[in-house]
Amino acid sequence: MTNRLSIVVVEEDKSRSDLIVDSLRAAGDFDIVVISERTSLARRISERGPDIVLIDISNPSRDMLEELTIASGPLERPVAMFVDRSENSLTRAAIEAGVSAYVVDGLQADRLKPILDAAMTRFQMFRRMRTELEATKRALEERKVIDRAKGLLMKAKGISEEEAYALLRRTAMDQNRKVAQVAEALVTTAGLLS
């Protein structure tokens, strides 16, 4: 009989599940299975009979797992969300990171910790990547607007690109606004007047 913990990771996105599996392997020697289909989720999981199920908190299929926790017999097992309540800080961190663990069988909290830690690291990394991507997109859009505003100023006032940018910057500082906001206002106004 093997002493390895069995973990099911419920994740539709392949690249994401790959990363989670990698980080779990780095955290310990576990028996890991990934389920990517959302139909009949409860049946697929109960066939595996894992010790732990890891699922994204924002996954709507999560409610399907509630069946598992009562199917194993109410009150008999410490079937818990996340970890037991004494590990409150860990639970909060898990909620913030977007990972939820279902302990399908009675389990010591100290065995769960490295798994949750590893999963949380990955989830957080994904969130950071998403935020960075959005910031980059926004920066690109702002740049586009600023370029258009510079062009408008150069044409209207017969000044150089550098002077146009300096004018935008100075106006922004005077009004305590961002250069992109001033540029946006200028482009919108020019659009209305044309």
Partner 1 sequence: MNTLHLSVGFIPLVDAAPLIVAHEMGFAESEGLSLDLVRAPSWSTVRDMLAFGRVEAAHMLAPVPIARAIGLGGGGPSFDAVSVLSVNGTVIGANLDLAARVRDNGGDFADAAATGRALIAASQGRLRIGVPFPFSMHAELLYYWLSALGLPAPQEVDIRTVPPPLMAEAIRAGDIDAFCVGEPWGSIAVEGGVGELLLPGAAIWQFAPEKVLAVRSDWAAEEVVPRDRLIRAVWRAGRWLADPSSHTTAAEILSRPEYLNLPAEVIDRALCGRLTVTGRGEVREVARFMEFHEGAATFPWRSQAAWIGRQLSARMGLDRAEAVDAARGVFRTDYYRQALRGASADLPGASEKVEGSLSAPTAVGSESGQLVLLPDTFFDRRIFDLDAQK
Is 8 an interacting residue with respect to partner 1 (CB under 8 A)? Answer: no
CA 185/CA 189 separation, integer angstroms = 6
Of 35, 53, 80, 118, the one binding partner 1 by CB under 8 A: 80
Nearer to partner 1, 57 or 185 (CB): 57
Q: What Å distances lie between residue 184 and 66, 96, 172, 177, CA to CA?
A: 49, 35, 11, 11
Of 32, 100, 145, 152, the one binding partner 1 by CB under 8 A: 100
Rg (CA), the chain: 26
Options 46-54, 72-80, 118-126, 147-155: segment touching partner 1 (CB under 8 A): 72-80
Q: Residue 46: which residues within 8 A CB-CB, separation 6 or more?
A: 68, 71
10 SS3 class: strand
Of 1, 75, 140, 192, the one binding partner 1 by CB under 8 A: 75
The residues that touch partner 1, with contacts defined as CB under 8 A, are 38-40, 42, 57-67, 69-70, 74-75, 78-82, 84-85, 88, 91-92, 95, 100
